[in-house]
Structure 1
Amino acid sequence: TPVMEGIINFHHDLMFFLITITLFVCWMLFRVITLFDEKKNKIPATIVHGATIEIIWTSIPALILLIVAIPSFALLYSMDEIIDPIITLKVIGSQWYWSYEYSDNLKFSDEPLIFDSYMVQEDDLAIGQFRLLEVDNRVVVPTNSHIRVLITASDVLHSWAIPSLGIKLDACPGRLNQTSMFIKREGVFYGQCSEICGVNHGFMPIVVEAVSLEDYLTWLKNKINFDFNI
């Protein structure tokens, strides 16, 4: 997703500052240890105040923080942008499974598409499926499409998180949180609940399968049992 690409690029840019600051601090420590050795300087320096150096070590960190903050806030607010979504996916967290609701098919069906998604037990896994990550009902979405995601919970706090898509949003009872995603390529993306929600917190995975728009419409047609033109 563009959000995840932004997070990766921001991480790479931030690493430049982190490495530079780390090397500078290590160099300063080494200089202090070697130049201000007790054996070399029997009489310690009596300097207690320096306006110039204080201005420097205050202004430079402030400038670095400002340089870091500008792209950070831009990326943060871009996560909240909802751009003309073609699909609205509602996510409901429960102990200990996820429920999903597609409501955009109401012109073809009398009721929205709703299903629950449970973790596949280890004994039921097929070859190639991942332990503790596979579910019985995957979320299917089209690629290259703006998708709005509404998230809430029915009992306790949960968190719908898919690291590879750059998505992590809390599911709170009585509150509807919103985010968006735009997946650029087809694939299967895995996530898990990221808020401790009880004894089976570690057993409510998330699986999002991104397919082409044609395959998505075919999947939706089979789910709602309605033959509309693709």
Structure 2
Amino acid sequence: MAHPTQLGFQDAASPVMEELLHFHDHALMIVFLISTFVLYIILAMVSTKLTNKLILDSQEIEVVWTVLPAIILVLIALPSLRILYLMDELDDPHLTIKAMGHQWYWSYEYTDYENLGFDAYMVPTQDLTPGQFRLLETDHRMVIPMESPTRVLISAEDVLHSWAVPSLGVKMDAVPGRLNQTTFMILRPGMYYGQCSEICGANHSFMPIVIEAVPLEHFENWSALMLEDA
């Protein structure tokens, strides 16, 4: 999760988020280089004779400022297309979960199991236990096995919502009457927090998402207990 005074993104917990962080650094370096070059040109024009008519009307300069941006766009487009390919639909996920947005909570249904589903409400501040986070903890967590490709089908019952978990590089709109999907794979065990990222009403800020990644055998024990309780 995020920390006070944190700069930058949260630590990546999925391969897609790792690629997004690398692409961010790659694009940011290009932006820095462009900004530095433009600032240098502006200062040179102010302090030297770069405003000479022969320079401003130069055919070579026009070619440079046409070709150079095209090269820069290619350098940005190629890695971004690679990430889009990695974020594409999974053919055979190990687990499929349906997430439904409501005003103002999430409900989850494990479609590979019969009668395995629950609602996840935010834990009120007065009910938090030591170690839990205010406005981020839920009474039921979405438990998934680590290192397993997971598909989440996302929709909404009432208004627009958005299912977002920053450390996984996941953000997908929940639209009433439409079924969107996103896929991810968590690389390490732990707790991963997110929130609804769509302004969906008065309690928009009270729709947290908590994902708990556990080893496969722990997930099987958890699912067996949930089915017994159901």
TM-score w.r.t. length of structure 2: 0.89
SS in 2 for 1:140: strand
Paired with 1:186 and 1:102, the residues of 2 have a C-alpha distance of 20
- Which amino acid in 1 is paired with 2:174? A
1:183-227 alpha-carbon deviations (Å, 9 max, x no partner): 01000000000010001101100000000000000000000019x
What amino acid is aligned across from residue 191 of structure 2 in structure 1?
V
Q: CA deviation at 1:83?
A: 4.1
The partner residue of 1:152 within 150, 155, 166 is 155
Unaligned stretches of 5+ in structure 1? Answer: 38-43, 107-111
Question: Secondary structure of the residue that 1:198 maps to in structure 2?
Answer: coil
Q: Percent identity of the aligned residues?
A: 51
2:180 paired residue number: 177
Q: Please report how far the alpha carbon of residue 159 of structure 1 lies from its aligned counterpart in structure 2 after TM superposition.
A: 0.3
Q: Pairwise mapping of residues 14-163 of structure 1 onto structure 2 (< 5 A)?
A: 14-36=27-49, 45-47=52-54, 49-106=57-114, 112-163=115-166
In structure 1, what residue type is equivalent to 2:195? Q
- Any gaps of 5 or more consecutive residues in structure 2? 1-13
In structure 2, how many angstroms separate the alpha carbons of the residues matched to 1:16 and 1:156? 39
Please report how far the alpha carbon of residue 76 of structure 1 lies from its aligned counterpart in structure 2 after TM superposition. Answer: 2.0
Q: Bigger radius of gyration, 1 or 2?
A: 1
Give, in whole Å, the separation in 2 of the partners of 1:163 and 1:184.
15
CA positional deviation for 1:117? 0.4
Deviation at 1:49, TM superposition (A): 2.7
**Secondary structure, aligned partner of 2:119:** strand
Shift of 1:36: 4.4
Distance 1:114 1:13 in 2: 41
Amino acid at match of 1:9: H
Task: Find the partner of 1:3 among 4, 12, 16.
Answer: 16
Distance 2:120 2:67 in 1: 52
Number of residue pairs aligned between Structure 1 and Structure 2: 215
1:109 aligned partner: none
Segment drifting more, 20-29 vs 156-165: 20-29
Q: In the alignment, which of 220, 225, 228 is matched to residue 225 of structure 1? A: 228
Shift of 1:5: 0.6
Counterpart residue identity of residue 29, structure 2: F
Query: Which secondary structure state, in structure 2, belongs to the residue aligned with residue 14 of structure 1?
Result: helix
Counterpart CA distance in 2 for 1:98 and 1:194 is 13
Q: Could you state the TM-score of these two structures normalised by the residue count of structure 1?
A: 0.89
Paired residue for 1:40? none
Task: Determine the C-alpha separation between the residues in 2 that align with 1:45 and 1:29.
Answer: 14
Q: 2: distance between equivalents of 1:190 and 1:45?
A: 58
Deviation at residue 50 of structure 1 after TM alignment: 2.4
Mean alpha-carbon deviation: is it higher for 92-101 or for 11-20? Answer: 11-20
| 8 Å contact from structure 1 (residues 3, 166) kept in 2 | yes
Which runs of at least 4 in structure 1 moved beyond 3 Å after TM superposition? 44-48
Once the two structures are TM-superposed, the CA of residue 59 in structure 1 deviates from its matched residue by 0.7
- Please tell me the residue identity of whatever aligns with 1:61: P
